[in-house]
Structure 1
Amino acid sequence: MTDLTRRGFALSLVAGAGTLAACGNGIGGRGPAVIDARVDATLQEMYRLYPNTAQLAQKANGMLVMPLVTEAGLGFGGAYGRGALRVGGVTVDYYSVVKGSGGLQIGAQQYAHVLFFMTEAALSEFRKSPGWAAGADLEYVISDRGDSVAADTTTVLSPVLAAVFGRAGLRVGATLEGTKYTRIIP
């Protein structure tokens, strides 16, 4: 890649994320009370749809709840959402998620997701980092098809579990993606 191509790619991702942030994805309201209310509603819906997630929540050292993430792409894509980190059922920090992607893709979708930090080390690493990228140690417990959660010994020993649910819209393609979570002050 030339410098111009890398620069163009980076600018496309930034412009795409900025557009998504302003597109009225339901997270436009400011203030901690708005985010907390949406986090509460998201958790209630997750527990209603997937009752086994309540057991995961009880075992988790903390949960990052993103009530609504909006994602869109046409060649290059991006996603944005805001949420809260809960430890012991109490909000301790607020975070944004930004996702960039490139490849064969078209469409837009919205979804909610919850990250369950199953070990104290995973939670501590997340909280200490200036920006945490979702990595190989992330295991999904609810698939795109809405299967219910099966928390077996292997799953519970994973450091970070993810539940993605409430999908609306259509996005198809094959992409390379990167996701980053950053602490914010709402």
Structure 2
Amino acid sequence: MKSIKSIFILFSLTLLASCGPTKNTEKELSADAQQAQTEVMNKHPQIAENFANSAGYAIFPNVGKGAYVIGGASGNGVVYKNGSKVGYADLKQLDVGLQAGGKAFIEIIFFQTESALDEFQQGGYELAGNASAVVLEEGVSKSVDFQNGVGVVTMPKAGAMAGVSVGGQRFEYHSAQ
């Protein structure tokens, strides 16, 4: 009976991670991404220079994550090159570890170089489980840590989650054309 419950939980979380939050239209997603960018820049002005100085960035305005030992996260985002929208991306994450809860957050991936952005746009891009993200907290000034030309920033929106997990994120890119 215990193994059936574990299989059901694993299946449910995998289904959650594969479906994820979606926007009805690209226009709504783009508006949410712009609002998330404005919110991050207003609350954390030190991050603003990354929008201006990066070759590109991807904004995921509404990433949802849930976990009970096995966790899943999903979100949709907009990809920009030199400040102009060039496409869309889907984020999926599945991880295992001591964790429980659920949360929503904004995630922004900055690409220092055009080659890092080009690699992301080729599709099937993955951030390894050891990739670190700068977590923006109210009133705390932090700078973005870049690894291999990529820097990740997250800003909590809602929810509570406790624990430590190991896992990576996978992204699929879709051109705006």
Which TM-score tier does this pair reach, normalised by the shorter chain?
Answer: 0.7 to 0.9
Q: Which runs of 5+ in 1 are unaligned?
A: 1-6, 22-26
1:37-74 deviations in Å (ceiling 9; x for gaps): 00110000011011121111111000000001000011
Relative distance call for 1:47 and 1:166 in structure 2 (3 A) is: same
Aligned counterparts, 1:164-179, within 5 A? 164-179=154-169
Aligned counterparts, 1:105-124, within 5 A? 105-124=99-118
**Distance in 1 between the 2:13 and 2:98 partners?**
15
Relative distance call for 1:13 and 1:88 in structure 2 (3 A) is: same
Bigger drift between 76-85 and 175-184 goes to: 175-184
Q: Give the residue type in structure 2 aligned to 1:150.
A: S
> Given that residues 51 and 83 in structure 2 are in contact (C-alpha distance below 8 angstroms), is that contact kept between their aligned partners in structure 1?
no
Q: C-alpha displacement at 1:156, in angstroms? A: 6.4
Q: Which residue of 1 aligns with 2:141?
A: 148
Residues 1:135 and 2:128 are matched in the alignment: yes
Q: Which runs of 4+ in 1 moved over 6 A?
A: 7-10
Q: Which residue of 2 aligns with 1:56?
A: 50
Q: Which residue of 2 aligns with 1:180?
A: 170
> Given that residues 16 and 77 in structure 1 are in contact (C-alpha distance below 8 angstroms), is that contact kept between their aligned partners in structure 2?
no
Q: Quick one: which of 96, 102, 105 aligns to 1:102?
A: 96
Q: Give the residue type in structure 2 aligned to 1:14.
A: T
Sequence identity (%): 22
> Given that residues 92 and 169 in structure 2 are in contact (C-alpha distance below 8 angstroms), is that contact kept between their aligned partners in structure 1?
yes
Partner SS state of residue 57, structure 2: strand
Relative distance call for 1:172 and 1:182 in structure 2 (3 A) is: same
The two structures have a TM-score, normalised by structure 2, of 0.82
Partner SS state of residue 45, structure 2: coil
Relative distance call for 1:143 and 1:29 in structure 2 (3 A) is: closer
**Distance in 1 between the 2:116 and 2:100 partners?**
34
Relative distance call for 1:12 and 1:156 in structure 2 (3 A) is: closer
